[in-house]
Amino acid sequence: MIAIIDYGVGNLRSVEKAFQFLGFHAEVTSDPLRVLEADRVVLPGVGAFGKSMENLTAAGMVPVVREVIASGRPFLGICLGLQMLFDTSAEYFGPDRKTVPGLGIVSGEVLKFETAELKVPQIGWNRIYKAKETPLLEDVADGSFVYFVHSYYVKPLDESVTACRTEYGITYCSGISYKNVHAVQFHPEKSGHTGLTILKNFARLK
């Protein structure tokens, strides 16, 4: 079973339906025990980094995410689910406007696009270019178009975790793969055939 973590943010049903369309058993759940029982786990997310970390903590999912990853089970972060894996985000939250800590699974930070030439947030279709060969991107052509909605991007401390990159004013990391942890900035559930291929690859990971 693929558990899709429900912590009060994001369009979770579209991810669930995409897996079900592909013939895989996926379930949206806010039950930490149910997540711990799953064979694979997905952390989706849209919205503000600080609020999402607050919700994830309140839902009791922070130790669950850590335990799932430590167990070696396949884990997929989507959009904000990628960003929350990092140490900190520059997306301020609250009246003190402090940098917000993330899960610290991947060393690095989340930064805001700083460009006068391009619109922020980046919304729409853009290309991904492979930084290395990974099971997640198997059968995905280099330069494939996928769908993005975001104002912030991740900057890993160790570039070897980068699975793919995208150009938008700068060239940035748009996906990571490290051991059993995979995550993408774009929305595979909204990215047509390419996105479905990525979700299928994840569902077949061992």
Domain boundaries, the chain: 2-203
CATH class of 2-203: alpha beta
Out of 16, 91, 164, 187, the active site residue is 187
Can 187 be counted among the known catalytic residues?
yes
Q: What is the pLDDT of residue 46?
A: 84
Q: What is the mean pLDDT of residues 25-30?
A: 96
Out of 16, 91, 109, 189, the active site residue is 189
What is the rounded radius of gyration, in angstroms, for the C-alpha atoms of the chain? 16
Q: What is the pLDDT of residue 147?
A: 98
Out of 16, 79, 164, 173, the active site residue is 79
Which residues, at least 6 apart from 121, have a Cβ–Cβ distance to it below 8 Å?
113, 149, 150, 151
Entry pTM: 0.94
pLDDT digits (tens, 9 = 90+) for 36-46: 999 999 999 88
Which residues, at least 6 apart from 156, have a Cβ–Cβ distance to it below 8 Å?
86, 106, 107, 108, 162, 173, 176
Can 79 be counted among the known catalytic residues?
yes
Q: Model confidence at 93, in pLDDT bands (50, 70, 90)?
A: low
98 has a pLDDT exceeding 70? no
